[in-house]
Structure 1
């Protein structure tokens, strides 16, 4: 898995995920300062959180298409430069409107990340390793979330919240320079690998005929995998955007204590995401007679349901320890499914379309990031508590688990 330059690819993709969530979660850590500094209400802060996903969701799809057309290396290089610059540009915000504009542009920059990771893994690794590698590389994202609390919290308290965004901008630009210099689009043996993968793709498509992108975009397996990913992202964005404010507002923690406590769920999430792909690949071998999709669904349905139960209960417990513990468990089970959505796409889609289909699925899933934070802000403003927001996040994931059982099936190719 780590030979012939593959280890370098894994390390760089892992670090890209760390930087991605360090940048993305910085706003939620700095939110109490920003909210006071710019005189924003909870509803306005929720809209700002959601505005990120407007640009992000659109460029999930466009970024996936770009990775198929221009290559994953170039697409991710440009994406990192753009999102780093607009992360730093947040220091220029003077109010509600300017925050929204900058966050939309920032989201556009981050949008291509997951689809380009999936494409890069498809280029470099054989099918029996892809879920494991996707889980391992994507596990950098919760690690980025974990370190953002102490880093951004310390800088914000010591030097002001604006300085923290300049620091993480510089980190992203440095990564992009090294990525362009040291990483190749495909391994040196790409010709032999491409021949083998082309043969496999021909066997999967009817009569050796290449299937159009539109064929996959209409498939229930793709659409309901995207719905499960939507529920995953609804919980994730609830945690990513509002959990720090919940700890301060509802649990009475100081910003310093909050920035430390938020590390706990992120660490469990890192473990879950790193293990999730390996768990899925293990079950795919164990239940080889039932087909690879069965093992993917087994992990996805079980863990997404457990995550739903934990997040729902977290909204009803009366102690801070209980709430943090249940949220941490929810994030752990949630992240165990994190590689599965991408693995399903890699399993059922031919190589020429895997970036585009993955990007389309990610686009649908990340509409949760547009809807969820704003709905949460509204519920907090109208009810005065976070309980309804917790229950809504859990209910969506339960419903999505049932939908996966019913509708995610092997794709039947046309004759």
Structure 2
């Protein structure tokens, strides 16, 4: 039986099984490749923040222009999430991700040659376009490459990279900027992006086309419930409309948006909180701020990844395990309230580390769900819808927090709002999402398993 035929026959039900001795590790090589890509993604995103003082001085930029440069990436990135999900479902992971990775390097390379605000602004817009497919594509790829019982750890590898980038990305880019000047800050990320493009070009294939994937490992992946390869029978617009009418999609989307609100609040305001409320210097706040992100990286991998897969492999109910971590992580996010009751930096970092660790544990579970519930050819669309609303919170949370802090001179109410948002997300995860199981194929589309019989 050929690999495509085996993919069609493969069931999407959870199979609790241990990997047999001598099984190949090709799937984990792919998982690490995807994680490295996200790490470089975030280097590309933070370089503008590190280089901003030198950019402002060289080109005489106003604070408003610097703000526009900071936000330009998110405009195109967020707007394209839904369209890029449809493109992924139409043209596949390999093609779209290759183009995207090449454009990451182009976008940073353009800034190296920039002569003013306009060039840099256009390059940041291009970077948003180039990186828009990254998370939906990785979610789709892990669905192809990993059985359901390993999906959480595989997803945690690339999701944790986003957290870990806050620990090493800023110092790495800062070293290049301080040592060689701001152009080399962008030059470094351009070189890393082009290097990743070459690595992805030569390494990544979908499982059915990967000559280095052994038949034994392929069979293990398929028997474990890998997402069937192939495009949807329905048109991309018909598939999107079908999915937008499904309650599971909205349960996942609103729940993940609540996570996104709190994630972006911490991402943008944590250093400012430490300076304003804890009276730290900027240098000291940067060091303290790295601690919660390091804790989040470990929690992402160990709890949201390894532990979830371990529990499912032991035969525990898949929905119960995943939703326990989802909801439990969101509840731990409420620990941020503890930071409002202390003026001691150590205790503030303690509570924030608990909150970020809980949210980080929930994140890879959330990102694994599109490939677990999508009908054939619909993973990209679900991931795109989910990430659109997630990144919309990247625009909303910093602004709302800034308005509240400006009006009250305190973060207490801002954190209270974040807690209320988390409670809304918990409701949608518990009540609206329901069981984590595949959405039926649209009317007129033949299920993958039936097609092969």
TM-score by length of 1: 0.83
2:423 corresponds to 1:398: yes
User: Are 1:19 and 1:172, in contact at CA under 8 Å, matched by a contact in 2?
Assistant: yes
Q: Whole-Å Cα distance in 2 between the matches of residues 244 and 88 of structure 1?
A: 29
Matches within 5 A, 1:337-356: 337-356=362-381
1:271 to 279, 291, 298: 298
2:312 corresponds to 1:281: no
What residue is the counterpart of 2:332 in the other structure? Answer: 306
User: Are 2:152 and 2:364, in contact at CA under 8 Å, matched by a contact in 1?
Assistant: yes
Question: Residue 200 and residue 109 in structure 1: after superposition, are their counterparts in 2 closer, same or farther (change >3 A)?
Answer: closer
Question: Residue 89 and residue 248 in structure 1: after superposition, are their counterparts in 2 closer, same or farther (change >3 A)?
Answer: farther
Structure 2 gaps of 5+ residues are: 1-18, 444-453
How much has 1:339 moved relative to structure 2?
1.3
How much has 1:28 moved relative to structure 2?
4.6
User: Are 1:131 and 1:343, in contact at CA under 8 Å, matched by a contact in 2?
Assistant: yes
How much has 1:161 moved relative to structure 2?
4.5
How much has 1:274 moved relative to structure 2?
1.1
Q: Whole-Å Cα distance in 1 between the matches of residues 414 and 116 of structure 2?
A: 29
Q: Whole-Å Cα distance in 2 between the matches of residues 47 and 283 of structure 1?
A: 46
Structure 1 gaps of 5+ residues are: 203-207
Matches within 5 A, 1:62-73: 62-73=83-94
Question: Residue 240 and residue 25 in structure 1: after superposition, are their counterparts in 2 closer, same or farther (change >3 A)?
Answer: farther
What residue is the counterpart of 2:320 in the other structure? Answer: 294
1:232 to 259, 262, 280: 259
As a proportion of its length, which structure holds more helix? 1
RMSD (Å), alpha carbons: 3.6
1:242 to 269, 276, 279: 269
User: Are 1:46 and 1:373, in contact at CA under 8 Å, matched by a contact in 2?
Assistant: no
What residue is the counterpart of 2:61 in the other structure? Answer: 38
Question: Residue 302 and residue 30 in structure 1: after superposition, are their counterparts in 2 closer, same or farther (change >3 A)?
Answer: farther
User: Are 1:306 and 1:333, in contact at CA under 8 Å, matched by a contact in 2?
Assistant: yes
How much has 1:159 moved relative to structure 2?
4.6
What residue is the counterpart of 1:368 in the other structure? Answer: 393
User: Are 1:25 and 1:241, in contact at CA under 8 Å, matched by a contact in 2?
Assistant: no
What residue is the counterpart of 1:205 in the other structure? Answer: none
Q: Whole-Å Cα distance in 1 between the matches of residues 220 and 111 of structure 2?
A: 43
Q: Whole-Å Cα distance in 2 between the matches of residues 196 and 38 of structure 1?
A: 55
| Superimposed CA distance per residue, residues 240-285 of structure 1 (whole angstroms, 9 cap, x where no aligned partner) | 2232344445544444434433321221121121121222223435
Q: Whole-Å Cα distance in 2 between the matches of residues 253 and 209 of structure 1?
A: 56
The total of aligned residue pairs comes to: 404
TM-score by length of 2: 0.77
2:123 corresponds to 1:123: no
Q: Whole-Å Cα distance in 2 between the matches of residues 194 and 355 of structure 1?
A: 24
How much has 1:22 moved relative to structure 2?
2.2
Question: Residue 237 and residue 32 in structure 1: after superposition, are their counterparts in 2 closer, same or farther (change >3 A)?
Answer: farther
User: Are 2:146 and 2:226, in contact at CA under 8 Å, matched by a contact in 1?
Assistant: no
2:414 to 389, 394, 397: 389
User: Are 1:18 and 1:144, in contact at CA under 8 Å, matched by a contact in 2?
Assistant: yes
Question: Residue 231 and residue 175 in structure 1: after superposition, are their counterparts in 2 closer, same or farther (change >3 A)?
Answer: same
User: Are 2:147 and 2:225, in contact at CA under 8 Å, matched by a contact in 1?
Assistant: no
Q: Whole-Å Cα distance in 2 between the matches of residues 75 and 212 of structure 1?
A: 19
Partner secondary structure for residue 317 of structure 1: coil
User: Are 1:312 and 1:393, in contact at CA under 8 Å, matched by a contact in 2?
Assistant: no
